[in-house]
Each structure stands twice: as structure tokens, then as C-alpha cells.
Amino acid sequence: MTTQRRQAYLLIEVVQWAFVVGVVLSAGLAVVNRTLLVQRRSAVFLADDTRLRHVLDRLRQDVTTASGAEIVREATPALTLHRADRDVRYVQRDGAVVRSESGRSGPPIEHIWKLDRCSLKWSIEHPVGGSALVWTGITQTVRPADGPDPLIYRYAIAVRVGAAPAGEDAP
């Protein structure tokens, strides 16, 4: 009877250890899976924010070197920046911002930035006694992992047409 009792206790210990190992492995895999999901979401957001920063930096460069700006009302409004040698046009279509640069000769050159969670709108303000300001309104949508309702951020930046960019040591 003692041998059967030992075997029964051994079987119970083996089952307990199998249960503990299974729980620990399941918890470990859940933590790794969640970490990879958060890392992937962070990488996607970072990539989209980097593309948005590139669009805004390029737009700032184009506006500061332009001699004039206007908004062309079409199916989708477009920002047109005039220079002496060429025109630069920004339009948002199909979830992307398209920059087309048309010289006086030759076909236009396009650069496309795909923005998955952002949209841009432009407006122009003509202050008294100064050059025009190009306002870019940005709407970003972030869908949190823990809820069905997205978070929406709205902000705007302004760049003066034909103004030299501020230096790094400027106040």
C-alpha cells in the first residue's frame, strides 16, 4: 500500500508542476505578445509622425522661399506657392499629401507622403502691413488600444510667406 501511496503523491506533484509551468508559460507569452503589440503600435505612430514632420518641414521651406501664396478651390483645395522660376502645389488626396513642383519647362515633379492618421487644411491670412501667413491646420486621430473612441488632436502652425527662417540662436 505504501508504494501505491508514493506513486499517487508523485502523480499529484507532477500534475501540480505541469499546471504551474503551464500558467507561467502562458503568462510569459501574454507579456511578450503585449510587448510586441505595443512596440508595433509605437513604431507605426512614430513613422507617421516622422512623415508628418517631413511634410511640415518641407512646407515651411517652400513657404519661406515663395513670393506669393494662394488657395485654389477645386474638388480638394490646394495650396499653391509662387516662385520666380516655378510653382509648388500641395494637395491632400487619398490619405496622402502630394507636393508637385512645376517648372516653366518640363513635367511636374511629385513627392507623396502617405499619412495614415493625419489630415491637413490650409488657409491664408493677410495681416495689415505684413506679408501673408500660411496656416496649416493638422488633425491627428489616435485610436487607443483600450477603447473604441479615438482621440483627436487639432493644432495649427503658421509660416510667413517670403520670410527668412529664424536662426537657432534667435530668441
Q: What is the pLDDT of residues 131-169, one digit of tens each?
A: 888 888 888 888 776 777 788 888 888 888 877 555 444
Q: Looking at the domain assignment, is residue 49 inside a domain?
A: yes
Q: What is the pLDDT of residues 1-42, one digit of tens each?
A: 688 888 888 889 999 999 999 999 999 999 999 889 888 888
Q: Looking at the domain assignment, is residue 26 inside a domain?
A: yes
Q: Looking at the domain assignment, is residue 168 inside a domain?
A: no
pLDDT of amino acid 164: 59
Q: Looking at the domain assignment, is residue 115 inside a domain?
A: yes
Q: Looking at the domain assignment, is residue 32 inside a domain?
A: yes
Least confident of 20-24, 89-93, 102-106, 148-152: 102-106
Q: Looking at the domain assignment, is residue 92 inside a domain?
A: yes
Q: Looking at the domain assignment, is residue 53 inside a domain?
A: yes
Those residues whose C-beta lies under 8 Å from the C-beta of residue 102, and which sit 6 or more positions away, are 86, 87, 88, 89, 108, 109
Tell me the residue range of the domain where 122 lies.
2-160
* Number of domains forming the structure of the chain: 1
**What pTM did the predictor assign?**
0.72
Q: What is the pLDDT of residues 49-78, one digit of tens each?
A: 888 899 999 999 989 888 888 988 878 888
